[in-house]
Amino acid sequence: MVQASHTPTVLTNPQLPDNPIVFANDAFLRLTGYSRDEILGRNCRFLGGPQTDRQLSHQVRLAIEEVRPVSARLLNYRRDGSTFWNQLHISPILDGVGRPAYFVGYQHDVTEQVEGERRLRQAHAALEERLEEREQLIYELHHRVRNNLQTVIGLLNLEARRADPSLRRQFSLITQRVRVLGGIHEQLESFGRWTAIDFGRHLRETCAALAALFEERIAVAVEAESLLCDIEAAAPLGLIANELIAGCFRQVSGSAAADQCLIRVVLRHHQDAGIVELAVSITAAGENGQPATNLLHPSDIVDVLAEQIGAELALDRTGSPTIRLTVPAGCFTVGLDGSPKPL
């Protein structure tokens, strides 16, 4: 039965000097290229050669001396000098009193598997190298874009100082839009993550910048989950948020009730619905003491940007006017720990 097996098999006798081979099946002969007469009576070490791992060979010999099973992957040599990777399994066969009567050794030619693993490692290393080069290129690109945006901001500030005072607020709002884009690139650079930004953090920074721009005592509350927004959606979504929040500031700025206004910005993931919602609401005292219902009017640019990322806008006039932007969860595809996980 062992003779007819397709698994190369040998038996050795540890009771004889040097634990020689006393049986080898035909599959072993085909694997190694030796004849039966050439291997019977010899220790299996003849399969070793210059590139065989000496430490692993020593571990195999030690296991045999200690009469315990052992497995190892060794580079072995055929009769013609060609090499093959041998997945070796050796087990003792004990006699009636517990002494080793024989050792049985099974060989498996795993050369193709080893070569496949080697090619996979090489491909992985090449991919890592290309990714590193790509990240460096992306870093340089983002760095240049951020520097160019800073130049644009500088030019806008210069023009604002020259412009008619009535136009300076408009220049400031345009500059803020550019700053939104610059902030996205800055966060990408500081995080060292080139595929997404923490949009909750971005919202807080946008609100702080707008509050400083309008220089009025308008309260702002931000409730934003730390959701990573894909880079493809970050710029349009960042501009949308800026337009909505700036619109609130613009429409209450200068009013007698400005210091009684509260602008609330909420970013929340609705897992069951498969969406992320950005809600911007404002409460202000109207002439009758009722919440004003005409405070939120998105600009045309918001509609264009929302369509670009597949988002939808809705104005809720019940209670405090609220504009809701529902964004497909696909725009937020990784957790803050960086691990891929659809929201």
Instruction: Write out pLDDT tens, residues 163-203.
Output: 777 777 677 777 777 777 777 767 766 666 667 888 898 89
Quote the pLDDT of residue 327. 92
Residue type (1 letter), 227: L
Of 255, 311, 319, 242, give the one whose Cα is nearest residue 282. Answer: 319
| Bridge partner residues of 107 (DSSP) | 88
User: Under a CB-based contact definition with an 8 Å cutoff, are residues 280 and 297 in contact?
Assistant: no
* Token couple for 154: 């500088």
Q: Which residue has the tokens 């006798």?
A: 13
Query: What is the SS3 string spanning 268-294?
Result: EEECCCCEEEEEEEEECECCCCCECCC
For residue 103, CA distances in Å to 16, 34, 309 come to 12, 20, 68
Task: Calculate Rg over the CA atoms of the chain.
Answer: 37
- pLDDT tens digits for 248-277? 888 777 666 667 778 899 998 888 888 899
DSSP for 58-82?
HHHHHHHHTT--EEEEEEEE-TTS-
75-102 tens-digit pLDDT: 999 999 999 999 999 999 999 899 999 9
Amino acid sitting at position 108? H
pLDDT of residue 19: 96
Q: Which residues of 280-307 are buried (b: 16+ CB within 10 A; e: fewer)?
A: bbbbbeeeeeebbeebbebeeebeebbe
- What SS3 class is residue 32? helix
Using DSSP's 3-state secondary structure scheme, residue 267 falls into strand
Residues of the chain with pLDDT under 50: 286-293, 334, 336-343
pLDDT of res. 142: 63
What pLDDT is recorded for position 112?
Answer: 96
